Amino acid sequence: MSPPSRRLQTKPVITCLKTFLISYSVIFWFTGVILLAVGVWGKVSLEAYFTLASEESTNAPYVLIGTGATIVIFGLFGCFATCRGSPWMLKLYAMFLTLVFLAELLAGVSGFIFRHEIKAKLGVAYNNALTNYNSTGGSSSSSSAVDIIQKTLHCCGVNNYTDWSTTEYFKASGIPASCCKDSTNCTPETLKDLDKAGQEVYTVGCFARVTHVMESNLGIIAGISFGIAFFQLIGIFLSCCLSRYITNNQYEMV
């Protein structure tokens, strides 16, 4: 059994570490809420871009939502483990933080390395979406994504509005109404004539604008992910230190 003076020196350290770790867990819990919000926002605002890139419904927003929900749960677990002062719970919490750190770091690095491949894939997908726009063999989700993008970003075609002239849809119906600046001025006759349509539709291509929007938003998401990833290191350090001090204090009391 260790001297009482040594135990008295250890207790303030444990109290201090508990205070820091509880504060950290609360902040960690808020980061989970932020990821949840980003996932919901991505599902609502970026679904058209994800759909176009993957040519089917994507699970990316759901991954963020699921990750955020998991962090919220473990953030509460971290607070509970700290209040209980259980070494094995604190070690479990540190293990979870380590897994989150590695997963987020891997995802961020992969996204950075393959960003050019993602951009190239998006260009091919957009061309295919125009070629198969509203055709029997095309995807209705990709056609809807094209309409949403053209309306939202005020653009038309891949490089410009004349790209539509090579599609089967143009031969039957002209340029889609989603390219129109003002739908009241876009008659079927106007949309079938490239010269007349040039005055009534957006002339800027969508590919440059889509990639700009994707890169801007992915940059925000990547920044948040990297910030949260390195933030885990603080929690891992505090959890391991507190677990060790509590274990040593228990041995000293024996």
| The pLDDT value given to residue 56 | 46
Per-residue pLDDT, averaged over 168-187, amounts to: 87
Position 109 pLDDT exceeds 80 = no
> What are the angstrom distances between the C-alpha of 128 and each of 52, 92, 136, 143, 158?
10, 48, 14, 10, 10
State the average pLDDT over residues 106-123.
71
Cα separation values, 4 from 166, 170, 216, 251, 252, Å: 87, 88, 59, 13, 9
pTM, rounded to two decimals: 0.59
User: Rounded to the nearest 5°, which phi and psi values hold at 154?
Assistant: 55, 55
pLDDT-derived band of residue 180, with 50, 70 and 90 as boundaries?
A: very high
**Position 226 pLDDT exceeds 90:** no
Q: What is the dihedral of CA 184, 189, 195, 196, to 10 degrees?
A: -30
Q: Which string of b and e fits 136-153 if b means at least 16 CB within 10 Å?
A: eebbebbbbbbbbbbbbb
Q: Is the pLDDT of residue 113 over 80?
A: no
Does the pLDDT of residue 95 top 90, yes or no? yes
Lowest-confidence region among 81-85, 86-90, 100-104, 184-188? 100-104
pLDDT tens-digit profile of 135-165? 545 556 678 888 888 888 899 988 888 989 8
